[in-house]
């Protein structure tokens, strides 16, 4: 009989893992603490490295129906609009990396993944908060906060940055506030002047702040993320409804393409951005962490969801390759930890660059502008590490 895999958390990583495992013949049960899936979270960028996995899982057609394919990635000065960087995405990603670059609403992606998981026989239990685990030589036992216990062969902790699985495995290692908050929201495109928002992944950089905008749902919706430096975060919740007037004030002197988007927004949500240093381990016997539970990413490379999606594929591949569960999970950790640690560091470095935090960072922006004019390929070299990696091909055989 196939192994029974228990997954804590029905976010993007947990659902992808469930699909990838079910596709390989495993029995999968997934437990999510929320009572229902919601639309909070707004947009996500799915770069080619993530799309390699989603295409392999047979989701291309469904995702294309809900998404938007940006023409370029641009980085511009917060007031003048002068370009520091412009890289082709749509056709270039297909020809160079063999996969698309898509923008999608998190709720749409979650819906596609949820339906696919159900179609593959994954059992999904909502309103089920995971509290602890125990393991013996033959099985792992998952305990829920309502007193229920579930037995399986493997447990995957995909329960986010506040993971209870992480806490039990590694002790209390609180995530640290990074001094950044992110305002997120969406605006119907028909509320904005036509062609105000370019059909790109638009990044505006300025002192102590940056702003991102792009289309969702075939161009009918504009997603925005506005990041601002803060000295502290005292609220109990990590996200809450934001004050749209306060947000407009914070970006009031920015380019009209930014201020007009914010003027058309009715509401926004405010997230405190937390992360933690790379962990020494992700695995405890038959239990493994994945996604934000082990490598939370600042959103300054748009790789948080992508790394969780890659994790999911490698976990399924290793559990299919090795009959010994502990060996499979150790192989997963060995493959994934160096890559995610590298990308965590790159995202942190981008926070300094995007916010012009020193004369050095300003000089880097000037150099980037020159490199883009001389050779777009040279300017895009740091992204090769991310986009050119095909986790599906790397784990064939």
Which of 84, 214, 313, 387 is catalytic? The answer is 214
In angstroms, the CA 118 to CA 146 distance is 24
Neighbours of 94 (CB within 10 A): 15
Q: What are phi and psi of 275, to 5 degrees?
A: -150, -175
Using one digit for the tens of pLDDT, what is the confidence trace for 42-59? 899 999 999 999 999 999
pLDDT at position 91: 83
pLDDT digits (tens, 9 = 90+) for 190-241: 999 999 999 999 999 999 999 999 999 999 999 999 999 988 776 656 678 8
To the question of pTM greater than 0.75 for the whole model, the response is yes
CA atoms within 13 A on the CB side of 226: 24
Residue 371 pLDDT: 73
- HEC sequence for the chain: CCCEEEEECCCHHHHHHHHHHHHCCCEEEEECCCCCCCCCCCEEEECHHHHHHHHHCCCHHHHHHHCECCCEEEEEECCCCCEEEEEECHHHHHHHHCCCCEEEEHHHHHHHHHHHHHHCCCEEECCCCEEEEEECCCCEEEEECCCCEEEECEEEECCCCCCHHHHHHHCCCCCEEEEEEEEEEEEEHHHCCCCCCCCCEEEEEECCEEEEEEEEHHHCEEEEEEEEECCCCCCCCCEEECCHHHHHHHCCCCCHHHHHHHHHCCCCEEEEEEECCCCCCCEECCEEECHHHCCCCCCCCCCHHHHHHHHHHHHHHHHHHCCCHHHHHHHHHHHHHHHHHHHHHHHHHHHHHHCCCCHHHHHHHHHHHHHHHHCHHHHCHHHHHHHCCCHHHHCCC
**378 pLDDT tier (thresholds 50, 70, 90):** low
Query: 214 an active-site residue?
Result: yes
Rounded CA gap, 204 and 202, in Å? 7
pLDDT of 365: 87
Return the percentage of the chain with pLDDT > 90, whole number: 79
**pLDDT tens column, 253-280:** 999 999 999 999 999 999 989 888 899 9
DSSP β-ladder status, 269-275 and 239-241: antiparallel
pLDDT given at position 41: 65
Contact yes or no for 191/239 (Cβ under 8 A): no
* Residue 223: per-residue pLDDT: 97
d(CA 100, CA 89): 8
39 pLDDT more than 70: no
**Best CA proximity match to 84, nearest among 92, 69, 74, 93:** 74
CB 85, CB 73: distance < 8 Å: yes
Q: Shortest CA distance to 212 belongs to which of 204, 195, 220?
A: 204
Q: What is the pLDDT of residues 279-308, one digit of tens each?
A: 999 999 999 999 999 999 999 999 999 999
Sequence-separated (6 or more) residues with CB below 8 Å from residue 333: 281, 282, 283, 288
Closest CA to 76 of 67, 85, 68, 63: 85
- Of 8, 4, 12, the closest CA to residue 30 belongs to 8
Work out the pLDDT band at 372, boundaries 50, 70, 90. Answer: confident
Q: Average the pLDDT over each of 68-72, 306-310, 358-362 and give the range with the smallest value.
A: 358-362
């Amino acid at each position: 009989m196939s192994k029974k895999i228990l997954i804590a958390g029905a976010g993007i990583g947990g659902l992808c893992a469930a699909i990838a495992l079910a596709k390989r013949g495993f029995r999968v049960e997934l437990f999510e603490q929320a009572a229902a899936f919601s639309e909070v979270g707004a947009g996500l960028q799915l770069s080619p490295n993530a799309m390699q996995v989603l295409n392999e899982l047979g989701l291309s057609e469904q995702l294309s129906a809900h998404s938007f394919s940006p023409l370029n990635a641009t980085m511009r000065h917060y007031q003048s609009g002068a370009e520091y960087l412009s890289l082709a995405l749509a056709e270039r990603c297909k020809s160079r990396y063999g996969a698309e670059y898509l923008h999608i609403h998190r709720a749409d992606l979650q819906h596609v993944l949820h339906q696919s998981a159900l179609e593959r026989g994954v059992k999904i239990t909502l309103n089920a908060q995971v509290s602890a685990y125990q393991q013996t030589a033959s099985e792992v036992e998952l305990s829920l906060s309502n007193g229920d216990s579930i037995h399986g062969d493997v447990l995957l902790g995909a329960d986010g940055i506040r993971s209870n699985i992480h806490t039990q495995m590694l002790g209390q290692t609180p995530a640290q506030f990074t001094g950044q908050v992110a305002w997120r929201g969406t605006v119907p495109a028909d509320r904005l002047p036509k062609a105000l928002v370019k059909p790109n992944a638009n990044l505006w950089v300025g002192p102590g702040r940056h702003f991102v905008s792009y289309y969702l749902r075939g161009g009918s919706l504009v997603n925005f993320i506005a990041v601002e430096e803060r000295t502290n975060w005292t609220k109990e919740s990590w996200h809450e409804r934001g004050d749209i007037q306060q947000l407009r004030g914070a970006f009031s002197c920015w380019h009209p393409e930014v201020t007009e988007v914010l003027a058309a927004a009715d509401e926004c949500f405010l997230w405190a951005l937390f992360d933690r240093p790379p962990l020494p381990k992700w695995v405890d016997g038959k239990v493994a962490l994945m996604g934000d539970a082990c490598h939370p990413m600042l959103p300054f490379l748009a790789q948080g969801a992508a790394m969780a999606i890659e994790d999911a594929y490698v976990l399924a591949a290793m559990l299919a390759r090795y009959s010994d569960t502990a060996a499979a999970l150790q192989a997963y950790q060995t493959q994934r930890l160096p890559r995610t640690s590298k990308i965590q560091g790159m995202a942190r470095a981008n926070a300094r660059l995007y916010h012009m935090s020193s004369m050095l960072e300003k000089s880097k922006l000037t150099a980037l502008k020159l490199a883009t004019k001389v050779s777009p390929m040279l300017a895009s070299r740091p992204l090769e590490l991310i986009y050119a990696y095909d986790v599906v091909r790397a784990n064939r055989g």
